[in-house]
Amino acid sequence: MTESPSRSGAFESAVDKRVEQFTESISFDARLFREDISGSIAHADMLADQQLISPAERDQIVQCLSGILQELENGEFQFRPELEDIHMNIEQALIDRLGDVGRKLHTGRSRNDQVSTDMRLWIRAGIDRMDELLAGLQKSFVQLAIQDGQVVIPAYTHMQRAQPVLAAHYFLAYCEKLDRDRQRLQDCRKRVNQSSLGTAAVAGTSLNIDREQTARQLEFEGLLQNSLDSSSDRDYMIEFVFCLSLISVHLSSWAEDWILWTTTEFNLIQIPQEFCTGSSIMPQKINPDVLELTRGKAARVIGDLQTLLVLVKALPMAYNRDLQEDKPALFDAADTVESCLRMAIPLVEGSRLKRENIKAGLDRGFLDATTLMEFLIKRGIPQRTAHHAVGDLVRQATRQNCRLSDLSLKDFQAFDPSLDASIYDVLGIENAISNFRSTGSTCPEQVSRQLSQWCERFQLN
């Protein structure tokens, strides 16, 4: 007769089948099998070194766990829902095959520290995958900046045309956002990469275990120092999902921009049709569904973060079974962001600005108005006075259905008789672009310097 590792002799009745179905988590935590076996092997090595099991027993356990790992990777392992989770399924398989030797593996640990260890290993690997994907997306934006960087595009505030910017400046803005996402993940990794293995259920253990050894073997940077904290802690997980939420918000913002840019009304960019779908009734439609789903999936990730925050907000110290429900939200957030990034990289790589359309419409919206105002400021006119004057000139140009650069010198001298033809040196899109000076602006020299830095970072020509 097989035994349930969590069902001790204190029970006088068998568990209700309905409870087995209600409490199982193997349906979603089975994906932790690699981490669980890695942690168990490290634990077995330590137990042998501490003479809590013999070297021969350690070798049997490690060999058996390696065989179970192979079965899991090949899809040959038979999960048993009545054993609740991946940890107990693997341990029971070990006991079924090794008997009392298998029963010794759990010496000096609890499922509480075992789960935490597995999750930290899984999140650590997830952070590394996310970082690689974010770097790939950054590289795609840099390549676009190289390709279309000298194109001038309108920048928007309040969804109204504001000022002209170089396309490279726009693309590199996303590199900056994604870089902060990577920095947050790396900072989060420091707190994730702390070992909880060996803190046991809640108070530690009286056995002479060596937590430092297992931490080194599993490549953790340090140890959690308080067993109560270790059992109850999920802030590392919430921090990771928070980082994912911000990534999803940045992706959603990018997707929203490009959804608008692909419309007939904007007509600024061509995205690859392989990332679009059609309509069941309107034959002309080429819909940017990947971008729309990227925008929509951000809601899921933000919802996953909220789920985790609400889950832990009122839990007493230390472990509570509520924490079983942390994994679906974690896995969903990570899977969703990873899938969005895997779509974003080739989509960005295959996109092209519609240069002729952009150029044809660039004179609309008085994008050089701010540069004109600053020209007046340089001549000693107070900012508010200059702002009001340029507003009057924009209104006059609107009535005449012309650009600011089309106004006559007399129109400008009506405001200030001292103005001369040099005023035209700041009017027009190209002149406006060339007049930017400040660090971090769309000044061509600034953008070129930044682009060179990004190219050097990604080893691009």
Residue 10: what pLDDT?
77
Write out pLDDT tens, residues 165-178. 999 999 999 999 99
Q: Is 66 a catalytic residue?
A: no
The pLDDT of residue 2:
46
Give 321-359 as a DSSP string: GGGGGHHHHHHHHHHHHHHHHHHHHHHHHT-EE-HHHHH
Residue 115: its pLDDT value, please?
A: 96
Q: What is the pTM of this model?
A: 0.94
CA distance 116 to 120: 6
Is the domain spanning 112-208+228-360 CATH 1.20.1300.10? The answer is: no
Of 9-18, 220-229, 405-414, the range with the lowest mean pLDDT is: 9-18
pLDDT grade for 159, boundaries at 50, 70 and 90: very high
Q: What is the pLDDT of residues 289-327, one digit of tens each?
A: 999 999 999 999 999 999 999 999 999 999 999 999 999
* Per-residue pLDDT reduced to its tens digit, 256-300: 999 999 999 999 999 999 999 999 999 999 999 999 999 999 999
Distance, CA of 332 to CA of 336 (rounded, Å) = 6
- pLDDT tens, 365-406? 999 999 999 999 999 999 999 999 999 999 999 999 999 999
Question: What confidence score (pLDDT) does residue 389 get?
Answer: 96
Active-site position among 158, 408, 418, 422: 158
Asked if residue 389 has a cis previous peptide bond (ω within 30° of 0), the answer is no
What CA–CA distance (Å, rounded) separates 167 from 151? 5
Residue 3 has pLDDT above 80, yes or no: no
Clarify whether 158 is annotated catalytic.
yes
CA atoms within 13 A on the CB side of 334: 23
pLDDT at 141 over 70: yes
Each residue of 30-76: pLDDT tens digit? 999 999 999 999 999 999 999 999 999 999 999 999 999 999 999 99
What percent of the chain shows pLDDT beyond 90? 95
Tell me how far apart the alpha carbons of residues 25 and 8 are, in angstroms, rounded to a whole number.
20
The HSE-up count of residue 139 (CA atoms within 13 Å, CB side) is 15
Superfamily for 361-457?
Fumarase/aspartase (C-terminal domain) (1.10.40.30)
What tokens appear for 230 in the block? 């270790």
Amino acid identity of residue 210, one-letter, is D
> What does pLDDT average to over the chain?
95
pLDDT of residue 452: 97
**Residue 15 confidence (pLDDT):** 84
So where are the chain's domains?
17-107, 112-208+228-360, 361-457
% of residues, the chain, pLDDT over 70: 98
Rounded average pLDDT over 424-445: 95
C-alpha to C-alpha distances, 67 to 63, 72, 111, 122, 167, nearest whole angstrom: 6, 9, 22, 21, 55
Architecture of domain 17-107: Orthogonal Bundle (1.10)
Q: How confident is the model at residue 1 (pLDDT cuts 50, 70, 90)?
A: very low
For residue range 26-40, list pLDDT tens digits in order. 999 999 999 999 999
Q: What pLDDT digit, counting tens, does each position of 77-113 carry?
A: 999 999 999 999 999 999 999 999 999 999 999 999 9
**pLDDT class for 240, splitting at 50, 70, 90?**
very high
Burial class (CB within 10 angstroms; exposed 0-12, middle 13-18, buried 19+) of 18: exposed
Residue 136: both structure tokens together: 């790939």
- Catalytically annotated residue among 27, 279, 339, 452: 279
Residue 143 predicted with pLDDT over 70: yes
CA dihedral 171, 175, 177, 183 (to 10 degrees): 180
9 pLDDT higher than 70: no
Mean pLDDT confidence for 6-12: 68
Closest CA to 45 of 204, 225, 197: 197
